[in-house]
A and B are shown apart, each in its own frame.
Chain A
Amino acid sequence: MKYKDTILEEVCRFLILSIQIFAFYIILNGHLSPGGGFSGGAILGSSLIIIHLVFGKSYLQKKINSQNIPAFISIPLIIYGLLKLHSFLSDTLHWPHPPIGTPGKILSSGFILPLNIMIGIVVAFVLYQAFSYFWDEEF
């Protein structure tokens, strides 16, 4: 379903870019400032929903093939599980830790940054998939 509205399309072309930059900022700064994987992923998912509503499903289909979305959801979840398993077992089994880094920098606090990125990807695609089930009734 596509609404042919030139003003809406041109405004959204700039708005979606800033929404996505803000979402990536929240995900990457999740361990330093308010936010994190879930909040940033929800914002990223809402930007995908806006693209779907404004430019139509075929426009998003060119960028992201909808048959690959289950893989986009499951592969980060598997990586998340493996990283979390490593962080649970590494203390008792004396496995190597990731470098802690200097506090306050982006590359710090060990596993939290990759876990936030994985959760952000999962939440964004799950919310988009839930919306797309409602809107297009394709199961």
Chain B
Amino acid sequence: MSEQNEKNMLGKKISRREMLKITGIGSAGIVIGASGLPGILNAFGANPFVDDDDTAVNKIKFYGGHQSGIATPIPEHVYFVSLKCKAKTKQELKEMFQLWTNQSAELMNGRFVEPLSDNKLMPPADTGEAKGLDASHLTLTFGVGPSLFENEAYGLAHKKPKELKDLPHFPMDQLDPQYVGGDICIQSCADDPQVAFHAVRNLIRSARGKVTMLWAQTGFNSYPKSKNKKKETPRNLFAFKDGTENPHVDKPQDMNDVVWIQPGESKGWLAGGTYLVARRIQMHLETWDRTALQEQEATFGRHRDSGAPLGKTGEFEAMELDRKENDELVVPEDSHVFLAKQVKDRILRRSFSYSDGINPKTGAFDAGLLFLSFQKHPKQFINIQNSFGKEDKLNEYITHRGSALFACFPGVKKGSYLGAELFQ
């Protein structure tokens, strides 16, 4: 948290919240650019437009054509939270996202959400646990769920894309209502778990009364360091590599084909946005751990240690689904990979493992995968998931417990705010 928060030129500080009210930023369409009058604005102790601070350490940009936390590299930690929206009007909802815009930019700069007040009888404006930590590649990704559009108070029904609806029931689903749906989601990713948590905590705190938490899930990924310093594909808790066949996040064409909604492909406000599927998948570690290696590999259709397709040696070698040995398919047709390959659809997987203590009913580990995927249309995920159906050998070892779909806004232009295209 940098000392830039401590600016206090007139000896009087105005909170960012107040500043928003004073300037009417966003609501009145006033855009104050970075080159505007920063000196004068800073004199108020708060700047109504918080820019990316390129000097911040381990920083990812907040502003841009797309939200962060999608095409950006997958960091080690996530705090994902699904919220119920209690804002009474569309205006309140919009103001909340305006406040979150500035706070997100500050947080991703590795700073406090708001400068602290001189009044020591006040609780600190920032909860403070990220003090001394750098930005840690924090990304904040915001999305809205189908239920938000059903709230008549917001008058957003006509802006709801027809594909934004609860995911269908899949054959082996055993959803726990405790982990289903939500009006709004925040995906907070960082290389440091405390930085990721701090961001969500402060965003929720500043919106208390306008949102309540429905469910949340933390997750982690660990990256073995390879010799050329290139990040290797992380392993899930079954020890298999997860994410090998992802689209190339640095190839715009690939991302435009798979992830980013193009103008005309959905409602206008979603151009540049994407759909986020969240699934909380319980993994039955105890049963997996007593399964023979040969069976484990046949379940995924890959070799465990190398990550290579069965019968191959390199992780990134192409999968040959037709290849037979002794009249049998090398990659079994009920393996996870084989079934996934039956559909042409692709998705960007950005999953994290989780470990939540023990299941009180069974005494077993409560552990698994917070599956997060991004795609321009939910049907990409639905087709793949349906292809697994009842056949997937992996079903024996996993149970889908949580499910939600969110439409993620496009990126925020400097001077604008999260969801501006939807709320204006």
- Answer yes or no: are A and B bound together in one complex: no
Residues of B in contact with A (beta carbons under 8 Å apart): none
Residues of A in contact with B (beta carbons under 8 Å apart): none
